[in-house]
Amino acid sequence: MKRDASIALVLFALVALLPLSGEAYWMRLGTTMLMYGVLAMSWNFIGGMAGYPSFAVAAFFGLGAYAGAVAQKFGVPMGFAWVGAGLLALVFAALLGVALLRLRGHYFAIASLVVAEVLRELVNSMTGLTGGGMGLNLPIPAMASVDAQARFFFYVMLLLAAVTFTAMLITANSKLGFGLRCIQQNESAADMLGVDTTFYKVSAFMLSGVFVGVAGAVYASWVYYIEPPDVFDVLYSVKAIVMVLLGGAGSMFGPLVGAAAFLSLEELVWRNYLEVHTGVLGLMIVLLVLFLPKGLISLSQRLGRRGKLR
């Protein structure tokens, strides 16, 4: 645990130096990468540790984005709106978890996938509160310059990613993390041996919701304008899963490695092949699942072992 914590400290400190580059492009990429990291690490609580194939990331993200935006519309200061959005996502995850976590396998996957669709339709139809399909504009934070704004949101995302990582590190080394790994291996046996599976699963689901909710709210403030198909996009759920798979599920740095690797690939494809970018994303997913199902981290182990044999 200490080793992981010190590696993480160095890593986050290095990332914090990024604004020195002074390039707006790198700032935007860095902020997106940190946001992706938050989504991937959050998914890791329920998907990586407990082994439940959750597609609820998009639901938490959209909920957080709209909660933060609507709160600011009514004059709540930005910081409070973000925290409030996180708390709302936490409560929502608790209620949803109690209902849905009784399902297993595909049934749970679909039920969690559907939640984002239902929320999107509801937000779409509540035009008075959320602007409906027209979307919602957010107040632009009063800051000296555009660069200062970019730096501000970068550091906010960095802080959020650090908090999420800390939560993940503490969870993985606690009784909760142990119980979740038991549930992943054999839920019925864990239940029989006295692990309170419902409590553990709901706790993991809440952890997987709260930081995504905050990330959604910060994202909304960062881009000033949100609309339902943008923030309730099922691709957020899929990307979180792909990033964790890419990095290596269940490992401490897997989600972060996956987020960085995924964003690099996505950015390359976006920049060079805009027309076919969803197709290339799909191809990446297919190749990843077929040839590298244990992630990039397993690659280094595999190469290492092969090296020793020679």
Residues that bind another protein (CB under 8 A): 47, 51, 53, 99-100, 102-103, 105-107, 109-111, 114-115, 117-118, 121-122, 124-125, 238, 241-242, 245, 275-279, 281-286, 288-290, 293
Angstrom CA distances, 309 to 9, 151, 266, 294, stand at 34, 48, 35, 21
Q: Closest separation between CB of residue 120 and another protein, Å?
A: 9
Q: Closest separation between CB of residue 236 and another protein, Å?
A: 13
Q: Closest separation between CB of residue 184 and another protein, Å?
A: 10
Q: Closest separation between CB of residue 56 and another protein, Å?
A: 12
Q: Of 151 and 239, which has the nearer Cβ to another protein?
A: 239
Torsion of CA 119, 124, 130, 134, to 10 degrees: 140
d(CA 101, CA 212): 19
Q: Closest separation between CB of residue 122 and another protein, Å?
A: 7
Q: Of 49 and 160, which has the nearer Cβ to another protein?
A: 49
CA geometry: angle 262, 170, 85, nearest 5 deg: 65
Q: Of 31 and 54, which has the nearer Cβ to another protein?
A: 54
- Burial class of residue 97 (count of CB atoms within 10 Å of its CB; 0-12, 13-18, 19+): buried
Q: Of 19 and 51, which has the nearer Cβ to another protein?
A: 51
Q: Of 30 and 48, which has the nearer Cβ to another protein?
A: 48
- Count Cβ atoms below 10 Å from residue 197 Cβ, excluding itself: 19
Best CA proximity match to 116, nearest among 41, 57, 53:
57
